[in-house]
Structure 1
Amino acid sequence: MTAANEAGLRIGTAPDSWGVWFPDDPGQVPWERFLDEVVASGYEWIELGPYGYLPTDPHQLEDELGKRGLKLSAGTVFTGFHKGDDEWQRAWDQALNVAGLASKLGAEHLVVIPDLWRSDATSQVLEPRTLTDEQWAKLGAGHDRLGKALLEEFGVKQQFHSHADSHIGTTREVLRFLDETDERYTNLCLDTGHFAYYGGDNVKLIEERPERIGYLHLKQVDPSLLFDVLKNDVPFAEAVTQGIMIEPPNGVPDLAPVIEAVAKIDADIFAIVEQDMYGCDVDRPLPIATRTREHIFSCTHLARS
């Protein structure tokens, strides 16, 4: 392990850890309070969250982050390339906004989340749960096209985020996604909670596919609740309100082995705390965010601000 690796991964947080899923929701914490509480809880790196939640004017956002000593690690977009060629324009329109803004503030990553087969807003089933071979091919080709364009246009790397209630969630699906895509253009934002949601072994995936790990989201699943959720086919959004993503160290996976395995690959990989808490009371996130950061820094020496 090199001296750079020994410094550990950069730990940050995201609007999701404050219950933010949408650009504008009166039940969510106001963006100014979110930024202030990020500082209060001890983090320096954040993600953009849903486009439009934080200021979209780059000068205003730079000022707001700068006066708080905060820095931006990534933005987020949503894609559905398996649905057909028409999805390209939708994805690129988002990328122009999100990657355009994030790159101006120095971010080098774009977290890409696949459309869900079951709506996270209404829990309505929108399409079949599994993809055909033709849809898999469209999915892979679309992401490689997007990743190549992001690199060429913005110098930003695509980091794909497997997700509960999406077509890419299980270990088998994640591995097929990697096999369908080109590591030059498409790699993983490995979300430890979403991968564990369907029984995935995070450390095993990291060790078997180290070249495909480009970014981390740190969260834990409540194993005592998970089997009820899966048995009863509870929609992910409902599971979140039930507390399926739980405050560390009360869930799985253990975060220290994940951080240490990824630190062996590249110390410049971000590890962003992202505890799904949509629908929570606005006073709840700050103490959880503070305790989570303290836990991470106490459980491994391979973490840095």
Structure 2
Amino acid sequence: MTDALDRIRVGSAPDSWGVWFPDDPRQVPWERFLDEVAEAGYSWIELGPYGYLPTDPARLTDEIAKRDLRVSAGTVFTGLHRGPAVWESTWEHVSQVAALTQAMGAKHLVVIPSFWRDDKTAEILEPPELTGEQWAHLTKGMERLGHEVKEAYGLDIVVHPHADTHIDTEDHVEHFLDSTDTELVNLCLDTGHYAYCGGDSVKLIETYGERIGYLHLKQVDPAILADVQAKGTPFGPAVAQGVMCEPPAGVPELAPVLAAAQRLGVDLFAIVEQDMYPCEPDRPLPIAVRTRKFLRSCGA
């Protein structure tokens, strides 16, 4: 009998339904996502790209309540390594998402750093390594964001290491954590992205446990990942190739990750995010049902 993971709150996200953009003809309508995520047995969801789900709080509250769902977090994209010049435009975007997140009763804002190469065209936008000055902008900017979001909206920011961003590998993640204040900034550990970039999720949880504020659950297909790395394939095309796969077929093993998270002794969201853009509209639901069943077998 698997031990019950009573500190882990499992959910899913629009990402697991192939949703990457507020509006895209290749994505399922938001009503279908909400119907199917509830049908698959999840009770928690994320907002996904701002504007995909209704942004009117009263309407969204009604839509999620009638499906017995609750919101765990909103998501924002930031380029704070570019320095104070981007603060105002960043805050405009963040405050919009944070206001809706707060209105939904959620407590977390997932913050994704900007991509250094275009995830559709593969165009190199910036060098993959930051200068010392850019690291300082990034870390101080994230601390400021954490402070301002907490003051204005009562939310905790959790920064999401992500493939093809400046916070990706183990070295970059550890440097970021060592350079930021745990009172202001913690981590959304995405098990798939961290494995994609060569990191060990269990080791990170055991080493930096007090900084783990949120989890995204996904796996990578090792064979496809090896091909992606050998060819230098950007993240978008790698996803289209199927690099993020259905559990338990890939790495890392999720049971040890969840067990390590449970040992931290704090309540944590663990939101399933199987990147599948673009995907056939009938594909996500059966995968979501099987994934929920698999996570139950792990005790979650």
TM-score over 0.5 (shorter chain) = yes
Q: Tell me the residue number matched to 1:127.
A: 126
Residue 211 of structure 1 corresponds to: 210
Partner of 1:235: 234
What are structure 2's unaligned runs of at least 5 residues? none
Look up the equivalent residue of 1:78 and give its one-letter code: F
Provide structure 1 residue ranges, at least 5 long, that are not aligned to the other structure. Answer: none
Cα shift at 1:218? 0.1
Q: Distance in 1 between matches of 2:5 and 2:190?
A: 22
Partner residue of 2:187?
Answer: 188
Q: Residue 14 of structure 1 contacts residue 46 of structure 1 at CA under 8 Å; is this kept in 2?
A: yes
Whole-angstrom distance in 1 between the partners of 2:85 and 2:160: 21
- Supply the distance in 2 between the matched residues of 1:142 and 1:58 (Cα, whole angstroms): 28
Separation in 1, partners of 2:266, 2:137: 33
Deviant stretches of 4+, over 6 Å:
none
Which residue of the partner structure matches residue 87 of structure 1? Answer: 86
Counterpart mapping for 1:141-220 below 5 A = 141-220=140-219
CA contact (8 A) 1:10 1:267 kept: no
CA displacement 1:79-111 (0-9 Å, x = unmatched): 011112122112211121111001111100000
Cα shift readout 1:97-138 (whole Å, capped 9, x = no counterpart): 111001111100000000000112322110111000110000
Q: Which deviates more from structure 2 when the two are superposed, residues 123-132 or residues 208-217?
A: 123-132
Deviation at 1:6, TM superposition (A): 5.2
Equivalent in the alignment of 1:272? 271
Cα distance in 1 for residues equivalent to 2:140 and 2:45: 30
Q: Which deviations, in whole Å up to 9, do the C-alpha atoms of 1:242-292 show, x marking residues without a partner?
A: 000000000000111111111122442100000000111111100011101
Amino acid aligned to 1:244: V
CA RMSD after TM alignment: 1.2
The one-letter amino acid paired with 1:100 is: A
Residue 41 of structure 2 is aligned to residue 42 of structure 1: yes
Letter in 1 for 2:53: L
C-alpha distance in 2 between matches for 1:172 and 1:288? 33
**Counterparts of 1:274 and 1:220, CA distance in 2:** 9
How far residue 165 of structure 1 moved from its aligned partner, in angstroms, is 0.7
* Residue correspondences, number: 298
Query: Structure 2 length normalisation: TM-score?
Result: 0.97
CA distance in 1, matches of 2:52, 2:98: 15
Q: Which residue of 1 aligns with 2:259?
A: 260
Preserved CA contact (<8 Å) 1:7 1:267: no
* 2:11 aligned counterpart, secondary structure: strand
Separation in structure 2 between the aligned mates of residue 219 and residue 187 of structure 1, nearest angstrom? 19
State the alpha-carbon separation in 1 of the partners of residues 250 and 210 from structure 2: 27
Q: Which amino acid aligns with 1:209?
A: Y
2:19 corresponding residue in structure 1: 20
Cα deviation 1:182-239 (Å, max 9, x = unaligned): 1111110000000000210100000000010000000000001111101110010000
Residues 5 and 258, structure 2, Cα contact 8 Å, conserved in 1: no
Q: Given the alignment of the two structures, is residue 249 of structure 1 paired with residue 245 of structure 2, yes or no?
A: no
The one-character-per-residue Cα deviations of 1:26-68 (angstroms, maximum 9, x if unpaired) are: 1100000000000111101000000000000000000000000
Question: TM-score under structure 1 normalisation?
Answer: 0.96
Q: In terms of mean alpha carbon deviation, does 121-130 or 272-281 score higher?
A: 121-130
Aligned to 2:294: 295
Whether the 8 Å CA contact 2:147–2:184 is kept in 1: the answer is: yes
Q: Tell me which residue corresponds to 1:71.
A: 70
What residue in structure 2 maps to residue 108 of structure 1? 107
Secondary structure of 1:147's match?
helix
1:11 — aligned with what? 10
**Secondary structure in 1 matching 2:23:** coil
**Could you say if the C-alpha distance between residues 48 and 75 of structure 1 is closer, same or farther in structure 2, counting changes exceeding 3 Å?**
same
